[in-house]
């Protein structure tokens, strides 16, 4: 039986902390969490040390899967999130993750001059000396 989905922060025994849409499911003699689009959230701090934003990254970077099963025995703690701002940021990130990026143009020489650092430095030095 699968319980209703909810947003939660999950702390795993490995030390990883993930944010995801979660549902619990009873399977035979164990409970598993079905996590959808899990992400790692990092705080971005300003020079003063105050939090100025958040950075979202996929939990697993080498797969295109979006649903995972985690045995409840591998979880230290889980906290349901009622933070509307965090949920909206998460949903926006997931929505943008699914967008097709093929509409962006690839760089080519017709778009402008492409050079290496040494050639560009030499050219700029010549222009500066004139």
Task: For the domain covering 6-105, report its CATH number.
Answer: 2.30.30.100
pLDDT tens digits for 66-115? 999 999 999 999 999 999 989 999 999 888 876 655 555 666 666 666 67
The percent helix, strand, coil of the chain (3-state, each to 5) is: 30, 40, 30
Helix (H, G, I), strand (E, B) or coil at 7: strand
Residue ranges of domains in the chain: 6-105
Give the Å distances, CA to CA, from 40 to 3, 56, 128: 24, 6, 47
Helix (H, G, I), strand (E, B) or coil at 112: coil
Which tokens in the block code for residue 89?
Answer: 């940021």
Is pTM beyond 0.75? Reply is: no
Over range 22-32, report the average pLDDT.
88
End-to-end CA distance of the chain: 77
How many other C-beta atoms are found inside a 10 Å radius of the C-beta of residue 23? 17
């Amino acid at each position: 039986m699968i319980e209703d989905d909810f947003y939660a922060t999950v702390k795993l025994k490995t030390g990883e902390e993930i944010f995801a849409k979660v549902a619990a499911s009873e399977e035979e003699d164990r409970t598993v969490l079905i996590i959808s689009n899990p992400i790692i959230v990092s705080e971005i701090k300003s020079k003063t040390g105050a939090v100025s934003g958040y950075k979202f990254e996929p939990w697993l970077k080498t797969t295109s899967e979006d649903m995972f099963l985690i045995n409840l025995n591998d979880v230290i703690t889980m906290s349901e999130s009622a933070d509307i701002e965090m949920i909206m940021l998460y949903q926006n990130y997931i929505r943008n993750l699914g967008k097709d990026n093929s509409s962006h143009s690839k760089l080519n020489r017709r778009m402008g001059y492409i050079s290496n650092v040494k050639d560009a430095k030499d050219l700029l030095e010549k222009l500066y000396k004139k």
